[in-house]
Amino acid sequence: MPVYNPPLRDMQFVMHEVLNVSADFQSMPQHAEMDADTINAVLEEAGKFASQVIFPLNISGDTEGCTLDKVTHEVKTPAGFKDAYKTYTDGGWSALSCDPEYGGQGLPLVVNQCLYEMMNSANQAWTMYPGLSHGAYAALHQHGTPEQKALYLPRLVSGEWTGTMCLTEPHCGTDLGLMRTKAEPQGDGTYKITGNKIFISAGEHDMAANIVHLVLARLPDAPPGIKGISLFVVPKFLASADGTLGARNGIHCGGLEHKMGIHGNATAQIVIDGAIGTLVGQPHKGMQAMFVMMNAARLGVGNQSLGLTEVAYQNALAYAKDRIQMRSLSGAKAKDKPADPIIVHPDVRKMLLTAKAYAEGGRALAMYSSVLLEKVHHHPDEKVRKDSDEMLSLLTPIVKAFLTDNGYQAATMCQQVFGGHGYIKEWGMEQFVRDARINMIYEGTNTIQSLDLLGRKVLGNNGATLKKFGKLVGALVQEEGVNEKMAEFINPLAVLGEQITKFTMEIGFKGLQNPDEVGAAAVDYLRVAGHLVFGYFWARMAQVSLQKIAEGSTDPFYTAKLQTARFYFAKLFPETAMLMRTARAGSKALMDTDAALA
């Protein structure tokens, strides 16, 4: 059976020693009194919930899956899921970072980020049920009418109701401009909505009294394409203004997808047959409101893979220390045993360190992104809010794509550490691999994220936001450039910081001549940008660790952090050279292939 121990020490290190979040909180009135001890105490309890309540349900939930009653259209979740959700809501976890005006606790988003990382490590399929509610909450909080906010937000915050996002349809995938779902005005402020949606995570279940669906649809006078989409809130059960549930709405689950992973989550085919809904935001402006939810989901999906990277690493490390097989190439290490633990073998260490480096680098980026989001919503200085929003916009596709690519690679490597046992269900590793695979696909495939990063977030403003991140890199390089102990971290970071400017200009110029050049380079480009960001945070983590050791600390945590940083820069960061070379190879080798693909 797999194990999971919440990585509280590393979370505390990133929050308090690297990012110094308390300094940011002091500039925001609602968090000015928030201190490290309070945050640490909350996270300790969050770790207990994740490891003790939902982690034991992970394998059983995967084995049992969800069951659809085709007569009632109700979905039964795996045994224990509903009780665990009650424990979750009773503990106030659903309200952790929500607005106190609607019953939330108002804690910083970085605390919620850590809670969800731990829950994703423990049980990604279960975590998706409350996780989708955060996106629905965010969209309604920003774009809902006063009546919608009063009805839905307190119940989403408490967890009494959950939320979903109903976007795609069988024929359109990510190209939502092709969607056909219709909304007919009824003359009383409501709309009758008809259509079909697919791949709706947590689209139907028995864990909450009501499900609040946010549905994209077209009004009768809608212009074609993406500019003709409106957003509607469509509850499973109609409700009066005081929250009393009434008749079942015309929206139900027509089928459940049979999937490779996340079996414990109901991925629903949603049938909408004259369901009553209300408009969210302005007509034909639905994507503006939905992007609030989609961006939250993209950050959340990156966090899913971060959680899986961590739990896969923990189990592979424990196994590698215990499993004996063959002798070390440099001589027996466990002379009292017939063979050495496999952790002595260089390639086993490489796989373990890859997962560790990607988990800890991803944690730093995810936390930094959550602090940026906090500033977007709550910082009193308008310029800080704008700058934070711009930076978060740049980093969101990196969080989604780089962390999920890395997460799948890490989970597969950790499975490999187990050898044949990694292929056997009881060890849990094959489930981590299967669950991790979806994260690269949904909420916009990673190719879509790469096009978004290069085409919109970088070239779309002539690299202005990328240059702002480059200034962070440059400031760190200038600060530590003469420190010999930091040279192994700073020098490669400085080189890439200079190279990426020229690299970006080359792709942009070629793209002006032929747009396919951008498409051909995008995936490679995102990984280069991802390593630039990871390199920056790994250098900062190494900087803090060296400072602590210089101050006399003998805590092995800092030594371990430095060793992992050295591995990252020596073995993973150099991938950027290959990626820039393949990106520069251009589109011809891809597009001039009609005969090959005939």
pLDDT, tens digit (0-9, with 9 covering 90-100), for 514-569: 999 999 999 999 999 999 999 999 999 999 999 999 999 999 999 999 999 999 99
Residue 348 lies in a domain: no
Residue 382 lies in a domain: no
Q: Are residues 179 and 133 in the same domain?
A: no
> Of 270, 288, 306, which closes a domain?
288
Is this model's pTM higher than 0.85 or not? Answer: yes
The CATH number of whichever domain residue 20 belongs to comes to 1.10.540.10
Sign of the C-alpha dihedral computed for residues 433, 169, 227 and 189 taken in this order: negative
Q: Are residues 139 and 171 in the same domain?
A: no
Q: Are residues 208 and 108 in the same domain?
A: no
Tell me how far apart the alpha carbons of residues 194 and 220 are, in angstroms, rounded to a whole number: 12
How many domains does one find in the chain? 3
3-state secondary structure of 238: strand
Residue 356 lies in a domain: no
The CATH number of whichever domain residue 273 belongs to comes to 2.40.110.20
Residue 335 lies in a domain: no
Question: Is the backbone of residue 65 left (phi > 0), alpha (psi -120 to 50) or beta?
Answer: left
Residue 294 lies in a domain: no
Tell me how far apart the alpha carbons of residues 415 and 428 are, in angstroms, rounded to a whole number: 9
Q: Are residues 510 and 574 in the same domain?
A: yes
Tell me how far apart the alpha carbons of residues 492 and 569 are, in angstroms, rounded to a whole number: 8
> Of 288, 323, 353, which closes a domain?
288
Residue 387 lies in a domain: no
pLDDT at residue number 289: 83
Assess contact for 97 and 105: CB atoms under 8 A. yes
Closest CA relative to residue 364, chosen from 138, 542, 484, 489 = 542
Both tokens assigned to 186: 């009824």
Both tokens assigned to 374: 């906090």
Assess contact for 83 and 126: CB atoms under 8 A. no
Q: Are residues 465 and 501 in the same domain?
A: yes
pLDDT at residue number 475: 98
Q: Are residues 466 and 580 in the same domain?
A: yes
Q: How would you label 489-502 residue by residue, b for 16+ Cβ within 10 Å and e otherwise?
A: bbebbbebbeebee
Angle at 501 between CA 495 and CA 502, to 5 degrees: 95
- Active site includes 443? yes
Q: Are residues 127 and 166 in the same domain?
A: no
Residues 6+ apart with CB under 8 A from 415: 312, 316, 422, 423, 429, 430, 432, 433
Residues 6+ apart with CB under 8 A from 493: 473, 476, 477, 532, 535, 536, 539
Tell me how far apart the alpha carbons of residues 131 and 143 are, in angstroms, rounded to a whole number: 19
Closest CA relative to residue 271, chosen from 286, 250, 246 = 250
Q: Are residues 133 and 168 in the same domain?
A: no
pLDDT at residue number 174: 79
Which residues does the chain have with pLDDT short of 70? none
> Of 253, 288, 323, which closes a domain?
288
Closest CA relative to residue 208, chosen from 89, 297, 57 = 89
Kindly give the residue spans of alpha helices, DSSP state H, lying in 551-574. Answer: 556-567
Taking only the tens place, the pLDDT of each residue in 252-290 is: 999 999 999 999 999 999 999 999 999 999 999 998 887
Q: Are residues 463 and 580 in the same domain?
A: yes
Both tokens assigned to 137: 């909450």
Assess contact for 161 and 155: CB atoms under 8 A. yes
Q: Are residues 167 and 115 in the same domain?
A: no
Residue 152 lies in a domain: no
What is the residue range of 549's domain?
A: 458-591
* H or E stretch covering 188: none
3-state secondary structure of 287: helix
Q: Are residues 132 and 196 in the same domain?
A: no
- Measure CA 390 to chain center: 18
Name the phi and psi angles at 244, rounded to 5.
-65, 130
Q: Are residues 126 and 13 in the same domain?
A: yes
Other CB atoms within a 10 A radius of the CB of residue 458 amount to 26
| Residue from 443, 484, 488, 506 carrying the catalytic annotation | 443
Residue 355 lies in a domain: no
Assess contact for 8 and 534: CB atoms under 8 A. no
